[in-house]
Amino acid sequence: MKRACVIGWPVEQSRSPLIHGYWLRRYGIDGAYTREAVRPVDAGQFLRSLTLRDLVGCNVTVPHKETAFAVASERDNAAVAIGAANTVWVDNGRLHCSNTDAYGFMTHLERSAPEWRQWDAPVTLLGAGGAARAIIHGFLEAGVGEVRVFNRSVERGEGLAAHFGSRVVARSWDERSAGSRASSVIVNTTTLGMRNVGELGIDFAGFDARTVVSDIVYVPLETAFLAKARAHGLKTVDGLGMLLHQAVPGFEKWFGVRPEVTDELRAVIVADISGRY
């Protein structure tokens, strides 16, 4: 039996076991996927001892993503660009790592709103944390000419601009509405709106009708940010698809099958969200 897990501190909130458990059953694979609560001080040692723990790999959630990147022997291009890892696996005794968040976000965006590419315009990101780094990488790899980052701390946004180069521009948080109206996509990468806590304060009046509005928050599935955008007639993309699609590469690495993100899988996770929320 092949075994994998997700590690974090805390980790009880992770829905990864539901996703991977669904795929294990669907494809008839003799495998297991569990949660492992790992303290930050123990994360490096845990990752270095995956084989001894009879694990083929694991997902990594907060606060261990930078540790996973640091201890891995081999890092893919996405992990290097983002500076953190969320997926690790052992190959020929060496620890490999990747960051699949950019893949997950961009795949969901392409499937939900492929029309975003038909308009040559800047992309707007709200927030400058770890999720923003991944999504910036995804848009730059897709050929976007300018990514605007609006963050309460302009300095943090400027740090992203310095890391990624001249196609990333840091802007003042106070300019977030006016500075986003001609964007092809606007993405909330913060936790504002999770469980209906916090407000982004975006005024969608005057936004171009072609703008796609996306939120990485998926509890609730339609955040106040998305509901407000929809009320203004804008196309919206929820955050759940990113969670589902980012899980695909890891499952393939660990269990040898490229899984599909299906409506049935989405329904399983939606039911769990409804039950907990």
pLDDT at 275: 79
- Residue 113 φ/ψ, nearest 5 degrees: -145, 65
Mind telling me the catalytic residues?
Answer: 65
State pLDDT tens for residues 220-256: 999 999 999 999 999 999 999 999 999 999 999 999 9
Question: Binning pLDDT at 50, 70 and 90, where does residue 138 land?
Answer: very high
State pLDDT tens for residues 146-161: 999 999 999 999 999 9
pLDDT at 277: 53
Percent of the chain with pLDDT over 70: 99
Please enumerate in sequence order all residues whose Cβ is within 8 A of that of 192, keeping only pairs 6 or more positions apart, or say none.
126, 198, 199, 200, 217, 225
pLDDT of 116 higher than 90 = yes
Where exactly are the structural domains of the chain? Answer: 2-100+247-276, 103-239
Please enumerate in sequence order all residues whose Cβ is within 8 A of that of 112, keeping only pairs 6 or more positions apart, or say none.
237, 241
Question: Binning pLDDT at 50, 70 and 90, where does residue 89 land?
Answer: very high
Please enumerate in sequence order all residues whose Cβ is within 8 A of that of 33, keeping only pairs 6 or more positions apart, or say none.
3, 4, 5, 6, 16, 17, 20, 21, 24
Domains 2-100+247-276 and 103-239 share a fold: yes
Could you say which of 3.20.20.140, 3.40.50.1820, 3.40.50.360, 3.40.50.10860 is the CATH number of the domain covering 2-100+247-276? 3.40.50.10860
pLDDT at 276: 67
pLDDT at 72: 98
State pLDDT tens for residues 57-80: 999 999 999 999 999 999 999 999
Considering the entire predicted model, what is its pTM? 0.97
Average pLDDT, the chain: 97
Question: Binning pLDDT at 50, 70 and 90, where does residue 265 land?
Answer: very high
State pLDDT tens for residues 183-198: 999 999 999 999 999 9
pLDDT at 60: 98
Topology of domain 103-239 in CATH is Rossmann fold (3.40.50)
State pLDDT tens for residues 168-221: 999 999 999 999 999 999 999 999 999 999 999 999 999 999 999 999 999 999
